[in-house]
Amino acid sequence: MQPMTVTLTQLNTCDATNFVSALKGVYEHSPWVAQRAAAQRPFATLAALKLALQDGVKNASEAEQLGLIRAHPELAGKVALAGSLSTESRSEQARAGLNHCSPAELAALQQLNADYHAKFSFPFIVAVKGPDGFGLSRQTIIAIFKRRLRNQRADELAECLRQIGRIAELRLNDVLGHKLEFGHTILAWADALALWSDVEDGLTCAFMTPAHRNTAAQLAEWMRNAGLQTEIDAVGNVVGRYRCNDPHAKTLLTGSHYDTVRNGGKYDGRIGILVPIAVLRQLHEHGEKLPFHVEIIGFAEEEGVRFQSTFLGSNAVIGEFSPALLEQVDADGMTMRAALIAAGHDPAPERITACAHQSADLLGFIEIHIEQGPVLLGRDMPVGIVSSIAGSLRYQIVLTGVAGHSGTTPMTMRRDAAAAAAEIILLVERRCSQAPTLVGTVGQLQVPHGSINVIAGTCNLSLDIRAADDATRDAAAADVLQQIAAICAQRNIDVALERVEVSAAAPCAPWLMHQLALAVERAGIPAVTLPSGAGHDAMMLAKITDVAMLFMRCGNGGISHNRLETITADDTEIAAQIFLDFLRSFRSAR
């Protein structure tokens, strides 16, 4: 028997008592959450109602938050075994099969419950229906349980509240009979693409490998099925064009990359291809035309995994693909040219040149991407608008001192390259904490031929400095390099620096950001802005047209470039609806 549903209009117009009653099962035994949201009516959208409820929890006292957490039962705990769960919790735990645990699984969960409560003094909370709403497996739940036991208390308290928000979101969908138009399909597509991998355990999809070629073929098939005029170009970009009735109209570009880092996640890059495919498919199925062409580009390569050269796909689109790149070799000695030919592409200069787009033909470029960070997660926002994409300066540094016996060389007489490196790392951390968008990272650190009983004679390290504007980045880099020289002089260490990469910051176009903001606000969500510390294909497209980016919230602490990378079907739905609204409302600046 299907539960009774209510409409948003009914929730907006009923009295406060009935409002709270209608939502009584959404937040476990905690009617105060709905009571506080009732005063904020009317809600323009379901998303606005969800945010109001979340804000009530976020702004509550810690005692109230702990009470809300403790109102939830343990997974497969005593209450569950006694059959005393609330209707909602009983259904959710059954959906995850927690009522059919094996003796070993039940023992593991009970031990985890005990360990968790001993450490945090509140029960473990996870939305057992999962990111897609269809349910996590018992094995996955146990793995999440073990991972989160390593958290600090403050972080785990925040995560429990986020999980309660996800549980409430799914329950609220049931209360209102809300069905997703796009979210489940897009996540299913991402799952399907993740089956094509260069490795068996994990997801790696490097340029022109069999997994990469299969991924491109699948994207092309989905584009064709969505009514797009589709091709795979000379460098492997998958291009789908949704044509309007005016053959002379200009084109709005969208898309992202479909290659991955080693052992990466399912959504980095790919979500920016899949969301537009789903949206344009709906337009096509309804026979709806736009007053401009829309072109989705699945960029063949952005990460630089195989040939150590990033943005190959987008550089071809902007006409800056260097022919010299074709002679670069991978770890097996195969050239990029040979890899392209083996994959069935023709890397002739005129074919690659034909990939380039002309600025005069373009209206702009919109990239949808996961945030790859924790800002939106921390602010309880499903989406955000990017203000600028950080530019980076990267260096390789070699420090040379004198190797010596660790037992016989006095501390005051050492030329220890590793000690200098340690001081440099702390310098980078200190200096790059001085501006909001500035970050600095030493991601590589090696002591060649190091031994436990030898003072480090040589130390190699990398340096990556980024900021949302070039002036902030360059000032920090100048300070860091000056102080590196001083540190090495004081320690009598020789230093050699090589700048290996420089990329300019790419501010997003205010007029495009404004139109995105209007679409976000029409979805009932505040239009928050944030910079991107990561590089994106939009940086390259900014050289020939105006760009904007819509970020989507990441779960699991905002982690990316990792198999734990995750998003929800509901956030994906919101992003797709915003993009659809943006397309329908788009007005050219030209």
Instruction: Tell whether 221 and 279 lie within a shared domain.
Output: yes
State which residues form the domain around 498.
392-503
Cα–Cα distance list, 399 to 313, 409, 461 (Å)? 36, 19, 8
Residue 1 lies in a domain: no
In this prediction, residue 77 has a pLDDT band, given cuts at 50, 70 and 90, of low
C-alpha torsion 212→218→219→220, nearest 10: 110
Give the type of residue at 149.
Answer: L
* Distance separating alpha carbons of residues 478 and 468, to the nearest angstrom: 16
Query: How does DSSP classify residue 239?
Result: E
Burial class (CB in 10 A: 0-12, 13-18, 19+), 422: middle
Burial class (CB in 10 A: 0-12, 13-18, 19+), 511: middle
Instruction: Tell whether 297 and 311 lie within a shared domain.
Output: yes
Has residue 171 got a pLDDT over 80?
yes
Residue 2 lies in a domain: no
| Residue 308 · residue 328 · CB < 8 Å | yes
* Segment 562-582, tens digit of pLDDT: 999 999 999 999 999 999 999
Residue 367 lies in a domain: yes
| Nearest by Cα to 462 from 409, 381, 392 | 392
Instruction: Tell whether 382 and 515 lie within a shared domain.
Output: yes
Instruction: Tell whether 129 and 219 lie within a shared domain.
Output: no
Long-range (24+ apart) CB contacts under 8 A made by 77-83 are 77/109, 77/110, 77/113, 77/123
Has residue 485 got a pLDDT over 70?
yes
Domain termination residue (choose one: 128, 153, 176): 176
Neighbours of 174 (CB within 10 A): 16
Instruction: Tell whether 280 and 327 lie within a shared domain.
Output: yes
The token pair at 22 is 């209608």
Residues near 103 by beta carbon (within 8 Å), at least 6 away in sequence:
none
Neighbours of 365 (CB within 10 A): 29
Domain termination residue (choose one: 122, 147, 176): 176
* Distance separating alpha carbons of residues 299 and 233, to the nearest angstrom: 10
Burial string for 120-151 (b: 16+ CB within 10 Å, else e) reads bebbbbbbbbbbbbebbebeebbebbeebeeb
Give the type of residue at 63.
Answer: A
Spell out where 322-382 has E strands.
Answer: 362-370
Question: Which of helix, strand or coil describes residue 567?
Answer: coil
Indicate the number of domains in the chain: 3
* Distance separating alpha carbons of residues 269 and 271, to the nearest angstrom: 6
Give the type of residue at 252.
Answer: L
Quote the percentage of the chain above a pLDDT of 90. Answer: 92
* Segment 87-138, tens digit of pLDDT: 777 777 777 778 788 899 999 999 999 999 999 999 999 999 999 999 999 9
* Segment 330-384, tens digit of pLDDT: 999 999 999 999 999 999 999 999 999 999 999 999 999 999 999 999 999 999 9
* Distance separating alpha carbons of residues 187 and 50, to the nearest angstrom: 21
pLDDT of residue 553: 98
SS3 content of the chain, % helix, strand, coil (to 5): 45, 15, 40
Mean pLDDT of 280-289: 98
* Distance separating alpha carbons of residues 451 and 436, to the nearest angstrom: 40
| Nearest by Cα to 290 from 280, 276, 298 | 280
Instruction: Tell whether 515 and 560 lie within a shared domain.
Output: yes
Residues near 471 by beta carbon (within 8 Å), at least 6 away in sequence:
none
* Distance separating alpha carbons of residues 530 and 375, to the nearest angstrom: 8
Number of H helices, E strands in the chain: 22, 16
* Segment 66-76, tens digit of pLDDT: 999 999 988 87
Has residue 86 got a pLDDT over 80?
no
| Nearest by Cα to 415 from 448, 385, 456, 449 | 456
| Nearest by Cα to 389 from 257, 506, 553 | 506
What is the CATH number for 126?
A: 1.10.3330.10
Has residue 492 got a pLDDT over 50?
yes
First to last CA, the chain: 55
CA angle 319, 320, 325 (to 5 degrees): 125
Asked whether the CA dihedral 43, 48, 50, 53 is positive or negative, the reply is: negative
| Residue 76 · residue 101 · CB < 8 Å | yes
Residue 102 lies in a domain: yes
| Residue 133 · residue 569 · CB < 8 Å | yes
| Nearest by Cα to 467 from 405, 413, 388, 395 | 388
Has residue 560 got a pLDDT over 90?
yes
Instruction: Tell whether 234 and 306 lie within a shared domain.
Output: yes
Instruction: Tell whether 487 and 515 lie within a shared domain.
Output: no
| Nearest by Cα to 299 from 284, 314, 321, 318 | 314
Instruction: Tell whether 463 and 327 lie within a shared domain.
Output: no
What is the distance of C-alpha 560 from the center of its chain?
Answer: 6
What is the CATH number for 448?
A: 3.30.70.360
Residue 3 lies in a domain: no
Burial class (CB in 10 A: 0-12, 13-18, 19+), 491: middle
- Location of structure tokens 């022109």: 208
Cα–Cα distance list, 267 to 64, 140, 287, 516 (Å)? 35, 19, 29, 21
Quote the percentage of the chain above a pLDDT of 70. Answer: 98
| Residue 43 · residue 524 · CB < 8 Å | yes
pLDDT of residue 46: 97
* Distance separating alpha carbons of residues 217 and 192, to the nearest angstrom: 12
Residues forming beta bridges with residue 296, ordered by sequence position = 240, 254
Residue 337 lies in a domain: yes
Mean pLDDT of the chain: 95
Residue 265 lies in a domain: yes
Instruction: Tell whether 350 and 271 lie within a shared domain.
Output: yes
Mean pLDDT of 276-302: 98
Residue 480 lies in a domain: yes
pLDDT of residue 100: 81
What is the CATH number for 285?
A: 3.40.630.10
pLDDT of residue 1: 37
Has residue 78 got a pLDDT over 70?
no
In this prediction, residue 83 has a pLDDT band, given cuts at 50, 70 and 90, of low
* Segment 18-55, tens digit of pLDDT: 999 999 999 999 999 999 999 999 999 999 999 999 99
Instruction: Tell whether 294 and 329 lie within a shared domain.
Output: yes
Neighbours of 486 (CB within 10 A): 11
* Segment 399-452, tens digit of pLDDT: 999 999 999 999 999 999 999 999 999 999 999 999 999 999 999 999 999 999
Domain termination residue (choose one: 122, 143, 176): 176
* Distance separating alpha carbons of residues 5 and 107, to the nearest angstrom: 38
Instruction: Tell whether 203 and 343 lie within a shared domain.
Output: yes
What is the distance of C-alpha 147 from the center of its chain?
Answer: 20
- H or E, element range at 193: helix 183-193
